Every structure is written in C-alpha cells, then in structure tokens.
Amino acid sequence: MKKSGILNADISRVLSYMGHTDTIAVGDCGLPVPEETERIDLALVKGMPSFMDVLKAVSADMKIEKIVLAEEIKEKNPEVLNEIQSLSATFETGFKTEFVSHEELKKRTKSCKAVIRTGETTPYANIILQSACLF
C-alpha cells in the first residue's frame, strides 16, 4: 500500500509517466473533457472535492514549471486566482503563469495527459500544469 503522496491510482499513474513539458489539467465540474483526453473524475457533489484541495495535492506530488489559466479568472474568480498565486509562492521557484482565453484553455486540454474533474462550481476554476524536469 502506498504510504504518502497521491493515493488516487489514476492520478498517481499519470503523474508517474509524465515527462518534461507534459501537461495535466485540473478543472471545475463544468469543464468539457475532449474524447481523446483521459478523464479522472473525482466529483462527488457540488463543491466536493474543491478545485484548490485537488490542486494542492497534485502540485505537492509534481514539479511544475508553468501554469496556464483562463484570462477570465482575473475578473470572474479573483479569489481562486489569489489562492493559486499564494500556492505558487510556497514553491522555491514559483510557477511561470500564462493567461489565455477560456476557449484556448479548453482547446489545450486535448494535449493534456489527463483532465482531473473536481466538484468545484465557481467560474473559471481550471488550470493546466506543465511538468518541469526533476534534475
């Protein structure tokens, strides 16, 4: 039995085979997942698990060099944006942040190794995490 880190077998598997510059997304319960992208559905009920709870767990188990957010989060969900920025500040190098339109973010999920669906119901609580090199 695994002792620490991500316990969800699907998330753990995807993180384990990711290489430098590969991407994974964490999204709210409304983010569409392309047919060609693996869906890891954690949503139980509205709000559970939260976007930030899942993001914190994944970011603790993954070296991230860049994040991609929807430009719309700045106006429509500044609380979650502030939480993401605070989380980034806890890492020694922080995360380089790229803002794109929500439509562009959705298009980019096609190239993600997986999209993790949360129970989050606040707008634009979606992020793409780009993997850094461990050495």
Annotated binding site for substrate: 28, 102, 124-126
How do strand 127-131 and strand 23-27 relate by DSSP bridges?
antiparallel
Distance separating alpha carbons of residues 18 and 130, to the nearest angstrom: 10
The three-state secondary structure class of 132 is: coil
Distance separating alpha carbons of residues 28 and 9, to the nearest angstrom: 20
Residue 23 near residue 128, CB atoms below 8 Å: yes
Per annotation, catalytic residue among 20, 96, 107, 110: 20
Tally of CA atoms within 13 A in the half-sphere of 19 that contains its CB:
0
Residue 20 bears catalytic tag: yes
Least Cα distance to 26 among 3, 60, 75 occurs for 60
* Residues annotated catalytic, as ranges: 20
